Amino acid sequence: MREVRLAPSILAADFGRLGAHCREATAAGVDWLHVDVMDGHFVPNLTMGPLVVAALRPLANETGCILDVHLMIEAPDVLIPAFVQAGADMVTVHVEACRHLHRTIHHIKELGCRAGVALNPATPLAWLVEILPDVDLALIMSVNPGFGGQSYIPGSTDKIRRLRQMLDAIGSDAWLEVDGGIKPDNAAEAAGAGADVLVAGSAIFGGPHSVAENVAAFRQALAIYRKSPE
């Protein structure tokens, strides 16, 4: 049975107290922090840059959490060095944004960082076949990227399952991450289909409950997955 990690998306955090809000998440037991970088071109939103990663690096050093940087930008090659220098542990790029994906993935690794590749909902898994052996993480977008708070696309579950089969078939130990509309009521479904890492934004940083209570709700939901047969 695989361990399923929670990766709170800081896009949904309170930026007026970002460090404290993220510390609440790490204190609640999460060991990844997901940084959604958007440029207003590849997706219709503009978010954050390397300075935010640098600001979170001391917290990551203190707690041992992974800074998981997701580049939803048109020209990732230009900014990858800045994000690595700022302290990213994982840099994920979109197959749709990379003209020379193999070169980009290996550039990330040459800079000393783990490399991931992401797929938008309408992008077929076939686009990953040639690069899958080279990546440390494969990310399924279960919403159309650009904004938090969207609903999970139901067809994503089958896509997760098929990607898990692809990874297992080549003996890959890459993480399978799912991002978009993840909540306690579908966390076990995504994990059961093969996800290793679940990205959740508003379901962890938002709502009437504390971050710790929200994380606990995910842990309780994932207990269903852990109790289910392989």
Looking at the chain, the whole-number percentage of residues with pLDDT higher than 70 is: 97
Q: Is the pLDDT of residue 138 over 60?
A: yes
Residue 146: per-residue pLDDT: 73
Residue 24: per-residue pLDDT: 98
- Label residue 173 exposed, middle or buried (CB < 10 Å: 0-12, 13-18, 19+): exposed
Average confidence score pLDDT of the chain:
95
- Going by C-alpha positions, the residue among 78, 53, 79, 77 that lies closest to residue 66 is 53
What sign has the CA pseudo-torsion 149, 150, 154, 155?
negative
Q: Cα separation of 224 and 34, whole Å? A: 24
Residue 48: per-residue pLDDT: 95
5-227 maps to which CATH number?
Answer: 3.20.20.70
Q: Cα separation of 22 and 133, whole Å? A: 32
Residue 224: per-residue pLDDT: 76
pTM of the model: 0.95
Residue 41: per-residue pLDDT: 94
Tell me the pLDDT tens digit for each residue of 104-132: 999 999 999 999 999 999 999 999 999 99
Q: Which residues belong to the active site?
A: 36, 179
When mean pLDDT is compared across 44-53, 68-77, 184-193, 220-229, the lowest value belongs to 220-229
Residue 147: per-residue pLDDT: 73
Looking at the chain, the whole-number percentage of residues with pLDDT higher than 90 is: 91
Q: Is the pLDDT of residue 229 over 60?
A: no
Q: Which amino acid is at 68?
A: D
pLDDT band at 228 (very low <50, low <70, confident <90, very high): low
